[in-house]
Amino acid sequence: MPEYVEETGQPHSIQGAPTSTTGFLGPTHSGPLILPAAPLTSLVEFEEIYGGPAAMQFEDASQTPNVMWHAARAFFENGGTHLYVSRVFRPGTSCNSDGRRPAAADYAGNFDSTTNRQTGLKAFEDVDEISVVAAPGITANFQVNSADAKSVINLLIAHAEQMRYRIAVLDSGDGQGPDEVRAFRANFDSSYAALYYPWVTIHDPLTGSVLNLPPSGFVAAQRSGARCFQSSSQRSYQSCHWP
């Protein structure tokens, strides 16, 4: 499957950095809101802490695929080795553990005075070895959620720029064509981010049906273990092996 990636800023090269550790940000069925002390090294560890592959059911939205589980699966099955997960959670009114659909402010995170730890994207500021960050699923149902998606993407870019030796892997919106992706990409300008298209079509291991997934989980695995030399003037078309 062909992949299109375009870096999102003015010509500016940054130092190569080892990309063996990735940080994923998003909602899961369970797990702590503060970052564990050590990264995950397998999908089994992800499931033990953050829950299994069952679909997400937010109180204020229809049932959706568990994109974070699928992203973790793609990451580890395609060669990724070390993954930090910062769980994003917006409480609801019932006992539903999935709560409400998180908004951009929930992704941003804050300082938790009870634990003296940071949550959301801010939690990744305390982990020096993270070199790639992504929020798999934030661009799902893009026509409805485009405002939140753009806000979270801007948060990822600002985070990568602040941390300097970190790259934000960004997903195009579901259902977007090439022209729409180019227009979407025009909203962002940074040499610390890369926008990926198209979404990846797989057979859902739960149902056997066709499922489209954001590419960030697969892309982060490809970057894992490599040294990335980022240049905003780079445009590449490459063949990728997707499961």
Q: Which pLDDT does position 101 carry in this prediction? A: 95
Q: What is the pLDDT of residues 10-25, one digit of tens each?
A: 433 333 444 589 999 9
Tokens of 106: 């929930």
pLDDT recorded at residue 4? 42
- The stretches of the chain forming alpha helices (DSSP H) are 43-50, 67-77, 104-108, 142-163, 178-185, 216-223
Residue 34 is predicted with a pLDDT of 93
When pLDDT is averaged across residues 61-65 and rounded to a whole number, the result is: 92
The residue ranges of every structural domain in the chain are 2-239
Question: For residue 89, is pLDDT > 90?
Answer: yes
- Does residue 222 have a pLDDT over 80? yes
**pLDDT score, position 237:** 24
pLDDT score for 224: 58
Model-level pTM greater than 0.75? yes
- What are the CA-CA distances from residue 128 to residues 71, 107, 123, 217 (Å)? 22, 19, 11, 20
The total of other beta-carbon atoms located within 10 Å of residue 18's CB is: 14
Give me the residue label for tokens 């070390």: 82
Tell me: the pLDDT tens digits for 161-215? Answer: 999 999 999 999 999 999 999 999 999 999 999 999 999 999 999 889 999 999 9
Check residue 12 and give its pLDDT. Answer: 35
Task: Work out the average pLDDT over 100-120.
Answer: 93
Strands 167-171 and 132-134: parallel
Give the three-class secondary structure for 132: strand
pLDDT at 114: 84
Position 100 pLDDT exceeds 80: yes
Say which CATH class 2-239 falls into: alpha beta
Looking up tokens 């445009």, which residue turns up? Answer: 235
Instruction: Please enumerate, as own/partner, the contacts of 179-184 that have beta carbons within 8 Å and a separation of 24 or more.
Output: 181/4
Please give the mean pLDDT across all residues of the chain: 85
Q: What is the pLDDT of residue 6?
A: 46
Q: pLDDT over 90 for what percent of the chain?
A: 74
pLDDT one-digit tens code per residue, 117-169: 999 999 999 999 999 999 999 999 999 999 999 999 999 999 999 999 999 99
